Amino acid sequence: MSSGDENFFAGFMDDYFAECDEHLASIREQLLRLERGGEGAAADRDTLDELFRNFHSIKGISGMVDLREAELLAHQLETYLRAVRDSGAFGADGLDSLFDGITLLERTIAARREGTPPPSLDAIVRRLATAAAGIGSPSPAAPVQTSGDHGAANWRVVFAPTPDGAARGMNVDSVRSRLRSAATIVHAVPRVLPEGIAFEFTLAGDLSEPLIAEWRADGLTVEPVVPEPAAAEPEAEAELARGLQPSHVVRVDLTKLDDLMRIIGDLVISRARLEESLARVARHVPPVEWRHVQEGTASIERQLRELREGIVRVRLVPVGEIFRRMPFTVRDLAREQGKKVHLAMDGANTEIDKYLVERMLDPLVHLVRNAVSHGIELPDRRVAAGKPAEGTLRLSAAGVGDAVLIEIADDGAGIDGAAVAERARAAGLPVPSGPLDDKALLDLICTPGFSTREVADRASGRGVGMSVVKSTVAELNGTIALHTTPGQGTRYVIELPLTLSIADALIATMGERTFAVPQVAVREVVEVDAASLRPLGGQEVAPFRDGALPIVRVSRLFGLPDSDRPRLHVFVIGSGDSAVGLAVDRITGQREIVVRTMADTLVRVEGISGATDLGDGRVVLILDPLALARRGRRLEHGVPA
Amino acid sequence: MASLREVCTGGFVEAASGLEAIEQLALGPTALMVLDLNMPDMHGLEVLRFVRAHQAYRALPIVVLTTRGDETSRTAAAAAGASLFQTKPFTPHALAGQIRQLLEASAGQVRP
């Protein structure tokens, strides 16, 4: 097989997985609706129909890629749903079987994607069949048959055509005739296997050993049939036809959007370069002409910005894509641990860059698992503490300017600071003396090597710990904060930039050097009198509003000489008690910059998030104000940076 | 038939059933498929859907033969990705014309 074919099959499987993801996402959405209705409630017909369609599609496409397990399970789920729809009730254990069945279906598809063995489906298939039978609907396809109707064994024969075989007369027609002379062909379908196109014949009848051997010698695959899902029922087909709406959605490979974004980035730089050149020739151009030129560049700038925003919007997906997975995680874990958890979600429609969604999935799942495992108490414990037996876990998301805030809050026991400190000491980690504030607590539990009960329960084992949560957020130029109150609950607040590659920035100078500072991190800009700076505990503070603002001279962080200017410009980072001022010589302008992150770990420096081309050929470093503020605070506490 | 031979310089293969038609795709490069809807084993629409589901053949020109007045099949085939239609009965010349047109349009994409 040529490499082109391999690419083709890889692409085919990618399509399959993408399509499965879409159906599974829709399934999760429908399930949420079902769950809101409760087990006793009459099932909402539309929801059931939609679920039915999803299972039917997964069954079909799974068959096409020869993922038998997924095909079988989807079929069984479909059968059960038909029974539900006919009777209007879920039956005993029904809704649980449905949830478990879907979890297994996801795992089966994921196993194929990851190349791991699929989970065992025997138990769930039996449960679903029992549940369907229990509702009492005479479902035509419900019982799983292990043998043909007439007591004869069923066989599956797979024939893959090849040019060589065809030359020897081995073609689908001759194979079909041979099979027909030995048994009854129940059905014959083309399949797409990893090796290429193949034909699969299902035979009913007894095959003799010599015959099987002969067929195998001719390159046919012959095997007894495992329970075979029945072919699509006419009813389902009709339903599909009715449900198919013209689609207005295209699926785009993320790398193509990345390419577009890169091109726009280059355009932004070219425009900046053009503006620089124009500025140089400005005095040679008559004023009237010059105004036209300026209008021209101004509208190009505006259109570029619109184009950029358009691409950014294309990349945005609702954060609900992550949220929708959580009910399963919470439900499974709560059941496993005998807890009662109500999951509330706000702002699932808040949009966020697709890349961020993908990167944040595992960290958020980890935080949610933590909240259920370690935050929310057992029902009797909660009642004893005067709280409702059912704990509440709230996921919320909101857009704030160029950033997205994601919160995970539970009303559980909160984090026991003393226990964390003890644990950290036991693990040999340095622990600050005195009571730990939320920030110190977060730093400790995010230290690699620290883990509380994680080792023991299933919440671990995914290769994600708090340290990974923190580092992922940091890599995405975001921040994470912890707020915990013993007895009342824990809340994590994650702030992420909406998108990564192009940002508005303030351009600042220190001596002869120029730096860019992403505007999103800057709360405000103030000018301070250098003479008004007062030393305080190895640090300087400036009068600010009614209080004092700790000042970090960026020059000192980079080992540059202090400025001799009488007035300094200060970026205010953070708010309230955690506000820090980053002092530079002068802020010279504001512009769009294209962020080139420094991927090479050898050149990564804390406090520098990347570099950008200003358009005049100068490459300047982009400061990471949050990291600088952190580093500044450490200096303040006398800890070496 | 004579005019078909003339158009299909790379040669053409007749398939007596849907499975055979699909088999031909597996056996070698195919520039174009003429598909009748009524076949002994698979319905032409099934063949069409199977082929179109297959990424490598999304661009394969497919002429679907339909019967006069059968608008339903025609709509279904259009939805399933047929490139052109030929209403039966037709003259070989008409079909050859369509094939030539499709082959020219897809020249450079698929090797004839």
Give the pLDDT confidence score for residue A383 in this predicted structure: 92
Confidence check: pLDDT of A463 > 50: no
Return the higher-pLDDT residue of B58 and A492: A492
Band the pLDDT of A1: cuts 50, 70, 90: very low
- Residues with Cβ within 8 Å of B48's Cβ and at least 6 positions away in sequence, in order, are B35, B62, B64, B77, B80, B81, B82
Confidence check: pLDDT of A167 > 60: yes
Contact indicator for A74, A62 with CB cutoff of 8 Å: yes
Give the largest CA-CA distance in chain B. 35
Give the pLDDT confidence score for residue A401 in this predicted structure: 63
| A293-318: burial string, b at 16+ Cβ within 10 Å, e else | eeeeeeeebeebeeebeebbeebbbb
- Given an 8 Å threshold on Cβ–Cβ distance, is A190 in contact with B53? no
Cα separation, A357 vs A432, in Å, equals: 35
A100-109, A583-592, B79-88: range with highest mean pLDDT: A100-109
Cα separation, B36 vs B57, in Å, equals: 18
- Residues with Cβ within 8 Å of A250's Cβ and at least 6 positions away in sequence, in order, are none
Cα A43 versus chain centre, distance: 31
- Given an 8 Å threshold on Cβ–Cβ distance, is A8 in contact with B50? no
Confidence check: pLDDT of A563 > 50: yes
Name the DSSP letter for residue A153: P
Cα separation, A335 vs A331, in Å, equals: 6
Contact indicator for A34, A95 with CB cutoff of 8 Å: yes
Give the pLDDT confidence score for residue A615 in this predicted structure: 66
A75-89, A306-320, A475-489: range with highest mean pLDDT: A475-489
- Across the range A545-557, mean pLDDT stands at 83
- Given an 8 Å threshold on Cβ–Cβ distance, is B26 in contact with A192? no
Give the pLDDT confidence score for residue A448 in this predicted structure: 75
- Residues with Cβ within 8 Å of A540's Cβ and at least 6 positions away in sequence, in order, are A533, A534, A550, A551, A553
Helix (H, G, I), strand (E, B) or coil at A580: strand
Mean pLDDT of chain A, nearest integer: 78
Contact indicator for B37, B65 with CB cutoff of 8 Å: yes
Q: Name every chain A residue with its beta carbon within 8 A of the beta carbon of B28.
A: 163
- Given an 8 Å threshold on Cβ–Cβ distance, is A166 in contact with B27? yes
- Across the range B82-91, mean pLDDT stands at 81
Q: CA of B109, closest CA in chain A: separation in Å?
A: 15
- Residues with Cβ within 8 Å of A251's Cβ and at least 6 positions away in sequence, in order, are A18
- Across the range A334-350, mean pLDDT stands at 87
Contact indicator for A490, A593 with CB cutoff of 8 Å: no
Give the pLDDT confidence score for residue A237 in this predicted structure: 44
How many separate helices (H) and strands (E) can be counted in chain A?
20, 23
Contact indicator for A572, A579 with CB cutoff of 8 Å: yes
Band the pLDDT of A501: cuts 50, 70, 90: low
- Across the range A516-531, mean pLDDT stands at 84
Strands A154-159 and A221-224: antiparallel
Give the pLDDT confidence score for residue A236 in this predicted structure: 44
A162 touches chain B (CB under 8 A): yes
Confidence check: pLDDT of A169 > 80: yes
Contact indicator for A319, A351 with CB cutoff of 8 Å: yes
- Across the range B8-32, mean pLDDT stands at 81
Confidence check: pLDDT of A158 > 60: yes
Name the DSSP letter for residue A44: P
Instruction: Count interface pairs A-B at CB distance under 8 A.
Output: 49
Helix (H, G, I), strand (E, B) or coil at A199: strand
pLDDT tens, A422-456?
Answer: 888 887 778 887 778 888 888 888 877 776 444 43
- Across the range A481-494, mean pLDDT stands at 91
Judge residue A362's burial from the number of C-beta atoms within 10 Å of its C-beta, 0-12 exposed, 13-18 middle, 19 or more buried.
Answer: middle
Contact indicator for A318, A349 with CB cutoff of 8 Å: yes
Q: Which of A347, A247, A261, A273 is nearest to A310 (CA)?
A: A261
Give the pLDDT confidence score for residue A210 in this predicted structure: 86
B19 touches chain A (CB under 8 A): yes
A172 touches chain B (CB under 8 A): yes
Confidence check: pLDDT of A136 > 70: no
- Give the whole-number percent of chain A exceeding pLDDT 90: 6
Q: Which of A520, A246, A254, A573 is nearest to A403 (CA)?
A: A520
Q: Name every chain A residue with its beta carbon within 8 A of the beta carbon of B40.
A: none
Handedness of CA A492, A498, A504, A507 (dihedral sign): positive
Q: What is the 3-state secondary structure (H, E, C) of A421-463?
A: HHHHHHCCCCCCCCCCCHHHHHHHHCCCCCCCHHHCCCCCCCC
Confidence check: pLDDT of A499 > 70: no
Give the pLDDT confidence score for residue A83 in this predicted structure: 81
Band the pLDDT of A140: cuts 50, 70, 90: very low
pLDDT tens, A268-310?
Answer: 888 888 888 888 888 888 888 888 888 888 888 888 888 877 8
Confidence check: pLDDT of A470 > 80: yes
Cα A44 versus chain centre, distance: 30
- Across the range B34-50, mean pLDDT stands at 82
| Least trusted range by pLDDT, from A128-137, A593-602, B9-18, B57-66 | A593-602
- Residues with Cβ within 8 Å of B43's Cβ and at least 6 positions away in sequence, in order, are B18, B37
Nearest to A161 among B17, B23, B55 (CB): B23
Confidence check: pLDDT of A464 > 70: no
- Given an 8 Å threshold on Cβ–Cβ distance, is A190 in contact with B50? yes
Instruction: Give ipTM to 2 decimals.
Output: 0.80
Give the pLDDT confidence score for residue A378 in this predicted structure: 92
Give the pLDDT confidence score for residue A491 in this predicted structure: 93
Cα separation, A227 vs A268, in Å, equals: 60
Give the pLDDT confidence score for residue A42 in this predicted structure: 54
pLDDT tens, A173-220?
Answer: 888 888 888 887 777 888 877 777 888 888 877 788 888 888 888 888
Cα separation, A232 vs A59, in Å, equals: 9
- Give the whole-number percent of chain A exceeding pLDDT 70: 83
Contact indicator for A502, A268 with CB cutoff of 8 Å: yes
Give the pLDDT confidence score for residue A2 in this predicted structure: 44
Band the pLDDT of B87: cuts 50, 70, 90: confident
**Adjacency order of strands within the sheet including A403-410:** A341-346, A391-400, A403-410, A489-497, A479-485
pLDDT tens, A406-423?
Answer: 999 999 998 888 888 888
- Across the range A367-384, mean pLDDT stands at 90
Q: How many of the other CB atoms lie within 10 Å of CB of B70?
A: 14
Q: How many of the other CB atoms lie within 10 Å of CB of A231?
A: 15
Helix (H, G, I), strand (E, B) or coil at A119: coil
Interface mutation vs chain A, best among B17, B22, B25, B73, most A CBs within 10 Å: B22
Nearest-by-CA chain B residue for A246: B79
Cα A39 versus chain centre, distance: 30
In the block, residue with structure tokens 């799974």: A62
Nearest to A64 among B27, B41, B53 (CB): B53
- Across the range B65-73, mean pLDDT stands at 75
Give the pLDDT confidence score for residue B112 in this predicted structure: 34
Cα separation, A134 vs A140, in Å, equals: 14
